[in-house]
Chains A and B, each alone.
Chain A
Amino acid sequence: MAAPQFSVVPPVAEPSYKNSLPSFLSPLGSALDRLQHAREALNLPDPGKAEDLGREVKMTHLTNYTFDGARADLSKVLSQVPAFQGQMGPSPGTYSFGAVYATAQTFLQGNVENEGGVTGRFNYGWSPKNLTKLSVQLSPTAQQPSMLSVEHDRMGKDYTLSLKSYNPSPADLTGTYLASYLQSVSSNLALGVEAVYQRPTPDLEDCTLGYMAKYHSVKKDEQGQPLKDSWIATAQILSQGMWQATYWKKLAERVDAGVDLVVVPAMDPRQRKAIATAGVKYDFRMATFRGQVDSEGKVSALLEQRLSPAFAFLVAGEMDHKLNKSKFGVGIMVESASEEAMEAAAAAQTAPIAPPM
């Protein structure tokens, strides 16, 4: 029989500015606390990350998923918790080997290709609100450029802040630095600003600003999946001078549609350019179909057919009516799991973990 447990809970001071600041600053502390309370009372939604502004549209369109030629992706789950996977992918001309390791707090990914290039990613979630990401791209030889990026995201209740630096050099502070801040201002609208500071050489500096807005109405079910009739509209003036607008809507339970407009304004009329893309995604029980058409005359489609939980067949096609060119790709995806890993996962009855991304 368990002994009755007595525990004295010390009165925990509520974390507030007033308690954390020295006493002579208490008027300032209480003012900040009142501001914080007023902000919480507004109960604004999470606006999502600035870099994920057009994410739903990108996931609906097939531009990031399509491929040319034949390809095979083999991945092998070696352990479920922590997630540990090996991947091999022969595709025309290249062969790559990768490994992924993920826990709820860390995410490590590495990939090496046949010519010797290595890409790596490391994400570490300090807390649910703070996430640091490192990524490297190393080319096979020292002469070719390599890339390192360091990024920190802060995801607050009604804002997100992200700081990035590409190829920062501690010796002469060259590199590209980027800061973006997105804040919800009402339950449907979020506004953001982005600043890019470039310093390619010690005596060349450049700073540009970009702006973004997101107007959305998304209702989610228990699993976090958006419900029917959710929609998101975004507009962005990117710091490189491009304008971009997107609209995404869930038309039905299994159908997403997205449109995307990119405008490149220029003083010279011949350099002005605009591309509109419209796409639709159908999620069937064992297949995903994506189709899209753009104003450059390209029509493309991608079908991912799952023949069994571990085997998928992919067909991609693209026709460029303006240039009279076409692309065609077929691929397979095989996912195998070692028997021990399956048994251990079945015994543990644990849900798949969501690594910090």
Chain B
Amino acid sequence: MSEDNKELIARGIELGKTVVHYGWVPLILFIGWNSSNPKPNLIKLISPLA
């Protein structure tokens, strides 16, 4: 494997990490909200008191 490809893979991994870091919890919230029946209020998702 050439050095360029290795570099590309490393950059891809870094990008993937960033995406997962910021996107994972919102993704679960969205999937859960989207498939819940009935759909809960958005405020109820994140507020501990509502």
Measured between beta carbons, the chain B residues less than 8 angstroms from A88 are 48
Give the number of chain A interface residues (Cβ < 8 Å): 32
Does A100 touch B at the CB level, under 8 Å? yes
Q: Is the CB of A138 within 8 A of B44?
A: no
Which residue of chain A has the shortest Cβ distance to B41 in the bound complex?
A338
Q: Is the CB of B17 within 8 A of A86?
A: no
Q: Is the interface of B mostly helix, strand, loop or mixed?
A: helix
Contact with B along A126-156 (1 / 0, CB 8 A): 0000000000101000100010000000000
- Give complex CA distance A112, B20 in Å: 11
Contact with B along A107-119 (1 / 0, CB 8 A): 0111110000010
Measured between beta carbons, the chain A residues less than 8 angstroms from B37 are 79, 344
Q: Is the CB of B44 within 8 A of A84?
A: no
Q: Is the CB of B1 within 8 A of A118?
A: no
Measured between beta carbons, the chain A residues less than 8 angstroms from B25 are 97-99, 110-112, 118, 120
Q: Is the CB of B44 within 8 A of A101?
A: no
Q: Is the CB of B40 within 8 A of A101?
A: no
Q: A76-B48, A118-B21, A171-B10 given as contacts; is B28 within 8 A of A99 (CB)?
A: yes
Measured between beta carbons, the chain A residues less than 8 angstroms from B5 are 171
Q: B19: shortest Cβ distance to chain A, in Å?
A: 11
Q: Is the CB of A86 within 8 A of B36?
A: no
- Give complex CA distance A146, B44 in Å: 31
Q: A344-B37, A344-B38 given as contacts; is B28 within 8 A of A101 (CB)?
A: yes
Contact with A along B31-49 (1 / 0, CB 8 A): 1110111101000111010
Q: Is the CB of A340 within 8 A of B20?
A: no
- Give complex CA distance A118, B18 in Å: 11
Q: A123: shortest Cβ distance to chain B, in Å?
A: 13
Q: Is the CB of A138 within 8 A of B21?
A: yes
CB neighbors of B among A71-112 (8 A): 74, 76, 78-79, 82, 84, 86, 88, 97-101, 108-112
Q: Is the CB of B40 within 8 A of A340?
A: yes
- Give complex CA distance A170, B7 in Å: 11
With A101-B28, A170-B9, A171-B10 given, can you name 12 additional A-B contacts, CB distance below 8 Å? Answer: A76-B44, A78-B44, A79-B40, A88-B48, A101-B35, A108-B27, A108-B31, A110-B28, A136-B24, A138-B20, A172-B6, A340-B40
Interface pairs (30), CB distance under 8 Å: A76-B44, A78-B33, A78-B36, A78-B45, A79-B32, A79-B35, A79-B36, A79-B37, A86-B46, A97-B25, A99-B29, A99-B32, A101-B35, A108-B28, A110-B25, A110-B28, A111-B25, A118-B21, A118-B25, A120-B20, A120-B24, A136-B24, A138-B21, A142-B14, A142-B17, A170-B9, A171-B1, A172-B1, A340-B38, A341-B40
